[in-house]
Amino acid sequence: MFMRIDHVGIACHDLEEKIAFFERTFELTVVAREVNEEQGVKEAMLHIADGEGGGSYIQLLEPLGPDTPVGKFLAKRGEGVHHVAFGVPDVTRALQEIGGKGVRLLDEKPRHGSMGSSIAFLHPKDVGGMLTELVQAPEQRA
């Protein structure tokens, strides 16, 4: 079902500061930036590697406000790993299969994600405390 770890999402207060740290310390490069109003984030993708199933990335996330998923997370837990995203060939199908096994879906249908991807989230309480994202890359990244 999973082809790769697509990205690890990290919540931070200051996106520009964290980008500079990751670039300087790990020699990573930002390949995409986006403000996603629906998800309440300003985010940047730093490329790690390319595999057969597609690329893998670190996603840095700054909240657009306190009453957003990442804003609430920062207030409650502080900066750190917010979610892990797995690449799937077909996110709609993956949602059906996973939902059928009793895991609560935070999204019934795919939403717009970074770099033109289709994304959906699973409830962290049903996945061992880990907020889990499913990512279907657009054709050109697959």
Q: Which residues bind ligand V0V (CB under 6 A)?
A: 9, 36, 39, 41, 43, 59, 61, 69-70, 72-73, 82-83, 85, 106, 113-114, 119, 121, 124-125, 129, 131, 133
Phi-psi region of 113 (alpha: psi -120 to 50; beta: other; left: phi over 0): beta
- With a CB cutoff of 8 Å and minimum separation 6, the contacts of 11 are 61, 63, 70, 73, 74, 77, 79, 80, 81, 82
Q: Does 87 bind Co ion (CB under 5 A)?
A: no
Direct distance between the N- and C-terminal alpha carbons of the chain, in angstroms, rounded to an integer = 15
**Smallest distance from ligand V0V to CB 10, Å:** 10
From Co ion, ligand V0V, none, which one binds at residue 62 (CB under 5 to 8 Å depending on kind)?
none
| Interaction residues for Co ion, span 21-80 (CB under 5 A) | 59
Helices (H), the chain: 15-26, 69-77, 91-99
User: Can you tell me which of 5, 8, 9, 31 binds Co ion, judged by CB under 5 A?
Assistant: 9
Q: Provide the minimum distance between the beta carbon of 77 and ligand V0V in the complex, in angstroms, as a whole number.
A: 7
DSSP 116: G
Nearest residue to Co ion by CB is 9
Contacts of 101 (CB under 8 A, 6+ apart): none
Minimum distance from residue 14 beta carbon to Co ion (Å): 18
Q: Which residues bind Co ion (CB under 5 A)?
A: 9, 59, 85, 133
